[in-house]
């Protein structure tokens, strides 16, 4: 295993500190989209767990939605369920609340106070890949590990 970037190493250290053996890897090419990541990993785009951060209008808290690669988040539907309007989070808000920059937001966050929702569509995959703090860094997990690592709530994020 080669030397990881600073943020990817932080995610690796966090996984180890929580008792997990999942290995963070850095891919050689661009992985800014779920499609690019899936191609680089040789998996289905549906197995990519993308972490999208929203700003909640009323409380100004962060909400992370972990969605299956091709799925679009129905912001109105999710907002109705949690009782707050979802706003787009700018880069500064995302970095401040998660510790990561957009494009590398890991589902494993060091900061507390972030509500996490997990796309129920990820349940069907035995292997899921999530970002690891850097746009080219990822780690593999199963659904149970994702649930344990995030303490997230599973729901229908598409609202169909």
Q: How far apart (Å, rounded) are the C-alpha atoms in residues 143 and 148?
A: 9
User: pTM for the full model?
Assistant: 0.94
Q: What value does the mean pLDDT take over residues 112-138? A: 94
pLDDT computed for residue 2 by the predictor:
64
Residue found by looking up tokens 């995610």 in the block:
11
More confident residue, 1 or 17: 17
pLDDT computed for residue 106 by the predictor:
94
Least confident segment among 14-23, 31-40, 77-86, 122-131: 31-40
Which DSSP string corresponds to 19-45? T----EEE-SS--SSHHHHHHHHTS-G
pLDDT computed for residue 100 by the predictor:
92
pLDDT computed for residue 17 by the predictor:
94
Domains in the chain: boundaries: 6-151
pLDDT computed for residue 109 by the predictor:
83
Average pLDDT score, the chain: 93
Query: For residue 52, which of 133, 6, 107, 13 has the smallest C-alpha distance?
Result: 107
pLDDT computed for residue 31 by the predictor:
76
Which DSSP string corresponds to 144-155? HHHHHHHT-EEE
pLDDT computed for residue 86 by the predictor:
97
Q: Per residue in 23-81, pLDDT tens?
A: 999 998 777 788 999 999 999 999 999 999 999 999 999 999 999 999 999 999 999 99
* Element holding 137 (H helix, E strand): strand 137-141
| CA angle, residues 34, 98, 146, in degrees to nearest 5 | 55
pLDDT computed for residue 111 by the predictor:
75
User: Is residue 1 predicted with pLDDT exceeding 70?
Assistant: no
What is the assigned CATH class of domain 6-151? alpha beta
Pairing status of strand 128-131 against strand 48-56: parallel
């Amino acid at each position: 295993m080669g030397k990881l970037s600073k943020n990817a190493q932080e995610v690796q250290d966090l996984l180890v500190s929580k008792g997990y053996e999942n290995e963070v890897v850095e891919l050689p090419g661009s992985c800014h989209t779920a499609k690019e990541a899936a191609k680089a990993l040789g998996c289905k785009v549906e197995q990519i767990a993308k972490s999208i951060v929203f700003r909640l209008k009323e409380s100004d808290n962060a909400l992370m939605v972990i969605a299956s690669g091709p799925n679009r988040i129905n912001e109105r539907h999710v907002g109705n369920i949690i009782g707050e309007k979802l706003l787009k989070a700018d880069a500064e808000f995302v970095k401040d609340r998660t510790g990561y920059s957009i494009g590398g937001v890991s589902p494993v966050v060091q900061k507390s106070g972030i509500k996490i929702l997990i796309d129920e569509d990820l349940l069907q995959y035995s292997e899921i890949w999530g970002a690891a703090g850097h746009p080219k860094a990822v780690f593999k997990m199963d659904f149970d590990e994702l649930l344990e690592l995030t303490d997230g709530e599973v729901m229908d994020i598409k609202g169909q």
